[in-house]
Structure 1
Amino acid sequence: MSTSPDYLDYLRELFAPLGLIRTRRMFGGAGVYCDEVFFALVIDDILFLKTDEQNRADFEREGLEPFCYESEGRRITLSYYRAPDEALDSAALMQPWAHSAMGAALRAKQAKTPGRKRKKACP
């Protein structure tokens, strides 16, 4: 699995209207962040957008597949669905999908509870 630098450059340009876009290599692919919110995953130059209960049906209605991988003999499915091919043609076509993915990412971020701070042991 690899993701080309040219494809990541294209995605940064495609998503630029959303805000500050950066990519970071991870999982043999790359994560896409908007204003430090992780909302998309790129594996083998295929873009997957964040989903949740509120937007997953939109992706399924278009016949789009979730990102899956095998680990220890089990199939793991993540809450990222493939982006529609036609949305990759322009920022205008991508915008509603990207906003939907950002919404899912923000809801997931808000749902996480902050971890407890550990107290230092007394010497």
Structure 2
Amino acid sequence: MSSPANAPIEMIRGDTLAVPITFKDPANNDNAVPVNGYTLTFTVKVSRYMPDDEASIQKNIVLPSSASNGEYTLIIDPADTNDLEPMSYDYDIQIKSPDGKTVVTVVQAKLKLLMGTTHS
């Protein structure tokens, strides 16, 4: 299953960011993979070697019926990053089938969190 290229995300701390994700099957002419009912896990850490309970951000989202076309938009909310230090973090996006038998890491890269000029 493929998704966004393993490229860094860059965002201002405390902003909202929409991350479009497309799930395709490279073994099947890159046809869309319906992932509704799958659980998407978005994890952000200072280091990928840290345990999950020390993650800076971790979202577990059961993908809605609209993901049956193989597309989903992950939203990073202001509250997710407001209290984080501006720096480079490791992140990944993983999906798990409803029966738990299939787990795929669809992207693994860096999240560069920048300090904005406007903040309270």
Q: TM-score, normalised by structure 1?
A: 0.26
The structure richer in strand per residue is 2
Structure ID, larger Rg: 1
More helix by share: 1
Normalized against structure 2, the TM-score is what?
A: 0.27
